[in-house]
Amino acid sequence: MKTILSNNKTPITFISVFLVAIVIMLLSSFGRAGRENNANEVDTLKGLKDFYKDYFPIGVAVAPNNLVGEQAEMIKKNFNSLTPENVMKPALIHPAENKYFWDDADKIVEFAQSNGMKVRGHTLCWHGQTGAWMFKDSIGKQVTKEVALARLKDHITQVVSRYKGKVYAWDVLNEAIVDDNDSSKVYRDSPWYKICGEEFIAKAFQWAHEADPKAVLFYNDYNTEVPVKRDKIYNMLKKLLKAGVPVNAIGLQGHWHTDDPSEQNLRDAIDKFSSLGLKVQVTEFDVTIYTSKTDTINIGFTPEREQKQIDFYKMAFKVLREKKDLITGVTFWNVSDRRSWLDRPNKKSYPLLFDENLKPKKAYWEVVKF
C-alpha cells in the first residue's frame, strides 16, 4: 500500500511541482518582458543625440527642404547640430561678385536657433562649388593674386559676419591637400593654389577669425586616416600653428566604407591631430556598403553588407566614445537612406543610421548600446 501510495503520489507531486515551476517561469518572463518593453519604450522616445549627451553633439547635413514635415520632427528628435549641406558654399551664397543669396542659409540657421541646435558653417574656401567668376576678370581672364585674395577676404568677411554668434564653427578651408602617395606633393592644384600659392590658407583663417573671434575654425578633409595624406595635413597644420594662424580644429569628413579605415588608423589619426592641441570632429559621417569603386554595385542592402556596416559603425563609435575628450562633434552627411549624396541611378549606398522610412536601422541600435 505504502508503495502504491508513494507510486501514486509521485506523479501528482511531480505534476504540481512542474505546474508551479511553469507558473513561476511565466510570471518571471512577463515581468522581464514588461521591463524590456519599458526599456525599449524609453529608448524609442530618446533620440540619437540623447544617448550621446555626455559625449558630443550629434549633427546632420541638411537642405532647407529637410526642415519640414516628418523629416523636421525626426531631425529635432535625433540631432542637436546642423550643417548646411550645400547652401552656404561659395557658389550658392555668393553667386556673383556683388551678389549674396542668404535666404536658404538663413532658413537653416533660423530652424537651428528656434530648436536649440548648433550650426556648423560649411564651407568658406574650397575648390568645389565656387563660382567661376571668383577667378576671372570682366573679359574672362584669370585674375591676379591680389584680386583673388581681395575677393576671398570679402567673401569670408561677409559670410562669417552675417552669422556671427549663430554659427559656432566654420569649415574655413576644405580639401586643400592632394590625394597623392608622393609625399612631396602637398597641395591640391586648385584655382586658389594656382593663383595665390600657399598664402590664401593662412589668410582665410585670419579673415574668418577677425570676422568672428569666437568661432571655432576648422580645416576639413577626407582620407584623413590614410597615413600619407594624414601626415601632409598634420605638417600643414603644424606649420600654420607655429606661424600663429588661428586654426582650432580638424574635421575628419568620415566618408568611410565598411572596410576602411581600420580601427588603428582611425585611432592614430585622432591622436596625431589632437597632439597639436586641435579639437577633432567627424564632420561628414557616412558608411557606404560598397567597399570601392570596383565593388559590385547595386547589389542592394544584403544581410552580409548590413552586418559589415553594423560592425563598422560599432567600431567607429566605440573609438569616438573612448576619445570623447578630444572629439567635439559628430555630424552625419544626410538625414537617412532615403537620400544620400552617394546615391546614383541604380546604385543606392545605404550609408546612414536611419532607413528610407526614417526609422532607426539595426546599426543605430548598436551605436546606442553602451
Between 128 and 300, whose beta carbon lies closer to ligand 9MR? 128
Name which of residues 91 to 130 contact ligand 9MR (CB under 6 A). Answer: 128-129
Q: Provide the β-strand partners of residue 162.
A: none
Which residue number places its CB atom closest to ligand 9MR? Answer: 341
User: Rounded distance, CA 249 to CA 234, Å?
Assistant: 12
How many residues does the structure list for the chain?
Answer: 370
86 is an interface residue for ligand 9MR by CB under 6 A? yes
The whole-angstrom separation of Cα 235 and Cα 279 is: 16
Beta bridge partners of 249: 218, 279
Assess 328 for contact with ligand 9MR (CB under 6 A): no
Active-site choice (73, 85, 110, 284): 284
C-alpha cell recorded at residue 32: 522581464
Residue closer to ligand 9MR by CB (options 122, 272) is 122
Closest distance of CB 146 from ligand 9MR, Å: 28
Spatial CB neighbours of 277, under 8 Å, sequence gap ≥ 6: 241
Q: Report the residue number, 225 or 284, with the smaller CB distance to ligand 9MR.
A: 284
179 sits near ligand 9MR (criterion: CB under 6 A): no
Is the CB of 122 or the CB of 209 nearer to ligand 9MR?
A: 122
Q: Per the omega criterion (within 30 degrees of 0), is the bond before 261 cis?
A: yes
Could you tell me the CA-to-CA distances from 224 to 234, 283, 319, 323, 354 in Å, in that order?
9, 12, 16, 17, 25
Q: Which of residues 238-257 bind ligand 9MR (CB under 6 A)?
A: 253
Instruction: List the grid coordinates of 244.
Output: 600663429
Of the residues 85, 175, 225, 366, only one is catalytic, namely 175
Please say which residue, 133 or 321, places its beta carbon nearer to ligand 9MR.
133
* Residue 70 annotated to the active site: no
Q: With contact defined as beta carbons under 8 Å apart, do 178 and 241 qualify?
A: no
Each residue 268-297 as x (binds ligand 9MR by CB under 6 A) or -, in order, gives ----------------x-------------
# of chain residues touching ligand 9MR (CB under 6 A): 8
Does 158 help bind ligand 9MR (rule: CB under 6 A)?
A: no
Asked if 366 is an active-site residue, the reply is: no
Tell me which of 85, 212, 225, 337 binds ligand 9MR, using CB under 6 A. Answer: 85
Element (H, E) at 232: helix 227-242
Distances from the Cα of 166 to the Cαs of 106, 117, 131, 173, 278, in angstroms?
Answer: 10, 10, 25, 19, 22
Annotated catalytic residues are 175, 284
Contact residues for ligand 9MR, defined by CB under 6 A: 85-86, 128-129, 174, 253, 284, 341
